[in-house]
Protein backbone atom coordinates (compact mmCIF):
# COMPACT_ATOMS: atom_id res chain seq x y z
CA UNK A 1 0.00 0.00 0.00
CA UNK A 2 1.33 3.47 -0.80
CA UNK A 3 2.60 5.91 1.78
CA UNK A 4 1.08 9.26 2.63
CA UNK A 5 2.61 12.33 4.27
CA UNK A 6 0.50 13.78 7.07
CA UNK A 7 0.24 17.23 8.69
CA UNK A 8 3.14 16.52 11.05
CA UNK A 9 5.43 17.18 8.05
CA UNK A 10 7.97 19.93 8.81
CA UNK A 11 9.13 20.29 5.17
CA UNK A 12 12.68 19.24 6.00
CA UNK A 13 13.12 17.52 2.62
CA UNK A 14 14.74 14.36 3.99
CA UNK A 15 12.21 12.11 2.25
CA UNK A 16 12.41 13.41 -1.33
CA UNK A 17 15.93 12.20 -2.24
CA UNK A 18 15.20 8.77 -0.73
CA UNK A 19 12.34 7.98 -3.14
CA UNK A 20 13.63 5.72 -5.95
CA UNK A 21 10.66 6.51 -8.22
CA UNK A 22 10.49 10.27 -7.60
CA UNK A 23 6.96 10.05 -6.15
CA UNK A 24 7.50 12.76 -3.52
CA UNK A 25 7.05 16.42 -4.31
CA UNK A 26 7.27 19.62 -2.29
CA UNK A 27 4.02 21.44 -1.72
CA UNK A 28 3.31 24.85 -0.25
CA UNK A 29 3.00 23.68 3.36
CA UNK A 30 4.26 20.10 3.24
CA UNK A 31 5.53 17.34 0.97
CA UNK A 32 3.19 14.87 -0.72
CA UNK A 33 3.37 11.40 -2.22
CA UNK A 34 1.99 10.60 -5.66
CA UNK A 35 -0.12 7.53 -4.85
CA UNK A 36 0.09 6.27 -8.45
CA UNK A 37 3.90 6.28 -8.47
CA UNK A 38 4.61 5.07 -4.91
CA UNK A 39 5.98 1.51 -4.86
CA UNK A 40 5.67 1.10 -1.06
CA UNK A 41 9.41 0.65 -0.52
CA UNK A 42 9.34 2.53 2.79
CA UNK A 43 12.59 4.45 2.22
CA UNK A 44 10.93 7.80 2.84
CA UNK A 45 9.27 6.66 6.04
CA UNK A 46 12.59 5.43 7.46
CA UNK A 47 14.23 8.86 7.21
CA UNK A 48 11.33 11.08 8.33
CA UNK A 49 12.43 12.74 11.61
CA UNK A 50 8.86 13.42 12.79
CA UNK A 51 7.11 10.21 11.68
CA UNK A 52 4.84 12.12 9.30
CA UNK A 53 4.90 9.36 6.66
CA UNK A 54 2.61 6.38 7.12
CA UNK A 55 0.97 3.61 5.13
CA UNK A 56 -2.41 4.56 3.68
CA UNK A 57 -5.12 2.23 4.97
Q: Which domains does the chain have, with CATH numbers?
A: 3-55 (3.30.70.20)
* Predicted TM-score (pTM) of this structure: 0.90
Q: How many CA atoms lie within 13 A of 50 on its CB side?
A: 13
Mean pLDDT of the chain: 96
List all residues 6 or more positions away from 26 whose beta carbon is below 8 Å from its beta carbon. 11, 13, 16
pLDDT per position as a tens digit, 15-57: 999 999 999 999 999 999 999 999 999 999 999 999 999 998 7
> What pLDDT is recorded for position 1?
84
The helix or strand, by DSSP H or E, that contains position 26, with its residue range, turns out to be strand 24-26
Q: Are 9 and 50 spatial neighbours (Cβ–Cβ below 8 Å)?
A: yes
Amino acid sequence: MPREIFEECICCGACKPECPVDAISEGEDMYSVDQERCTDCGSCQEVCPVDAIRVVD
